[in-house]
Amino acid sequence: MAHASTPNAAAAARHSSIVDPANIDQMILAIIEVRRVKQLHLTEADIRSLCLRCRDVLLQQPMLLELSAPVKICGDLHGQFTDLLRMFDYGGYPPASNYLFLGDYVDRGKQSIETLCLLLAYKVKFPQNFFVLRGNHESAGINRVYGFYDECKRRYTIKLWRTFVDCYNCMPVAAIVDTKIFCCHGGLSPELNNMTQIAKLQRPCEVPDKGLLCDLLWADPDPKIMGWADNDRGVSVTFGADTVGKFVHRFKFDLVCRAHQVVEDGYEFFAKRQLITIFSAPNYCGEFDNAGAMLSVDETLMCSFFVLRPSKKTGLRKVLNK
């Protein structure tokens, strides 16, 4: 007797697994192959297994990461999977290079699942060389509005989306490179008085509406103000160049590295080059003519930039010490 197909059965038919979920190398290859075959050959069980493994790895490492150069630092990706692969094409696929990603892997773009899965898989495979911070879009409430929830529901199930949420509720929120470069997704916080406050933030956790964790993921620099001000986003704060200067002096940092905002060239300095914004999704949402960038920090903490232009004709160019 014929039976009506259920949504779950239809989803299962679309996603036949060609990998052993215990074999992370097979999983990585299957995700990268999406660029060629245009289909993700991972079942919901495969991805769920990946999330659970990555969650364990994340919880074994601190909320405030202490990293060593050399490292390549990337900003927002927002589901632009092909551009993530273009970054790896140029910067080297792990473990050829060490990487730190600053968050906002999902929402808005069309391939948030592939983007997040590849990052999580590399985190499992190379836990000491590959690092992923949490962005403000690694949040259940934001996902429901900006696309990742709908993508998971359409391509798999809501249950899988909840598994992703459980995973990024465990992501670290800040990193320090060789005691000199402070990295987070959003920005500074008036509540941040010492680094142990970040280290002591408990996981798993949701992103609160205010406070230190919220600011690290949501705050923005503002050239028009001094000190602190309310953020036009309706969440968190903005901070002036003077605030950045006081912060780097107090904690003996050379640079604050953050993401969270579209910038035309993929990177933009602020506060006498004491802060840099990195954004790694070129032609963002198909609506902006911005470039995407990756910050490369060498062993001496010298910084250079790989810039990914939105036009294929322009391609990649390297900008040194700008």
137 is catalytic: yes
3-state SS, residue 7 = helix
Tokens of 79: 């589901």
* pTM, 2 dp: 0.91
Alpha-carbon dihedral sign for residues 275, 280, 282, 284: negative
Q: What is the pLDDT of residues 233-242, one digit of tens each?
A: 999 999 999 9
pLDDT in the model for residue 11: 47
Q: Which residues of the chain have pLDDT under 50?
A: 1-13, 313-322
Dihedral of CA atoms 177, 181, 184, 188 in degrees, nearest 10, equals 150
pLDDT in the model for residue 314: 42
Domains for the chain: give ranges and CATH numbers: 22-32+40-308 (3.60.21.10)
pLDDT in the model for residue 3: 37
pLDDT in the model for residue 317: 47
Among 15, 41, 137, 260, the active-site one is 137
pLDDT in the model for residue 170: 99
112-127 as b/e: b if 16+ CB within 10 A:
bbbbbbbbbbbbbbee
pLDDT in the model for residue 310: 79
pLDDT in the model for residue 175: 99
255-286 as b/e: b if 16+ CB within 10 A:
bbbbbbebbeebbbebbeebbbbbbbbbbbee
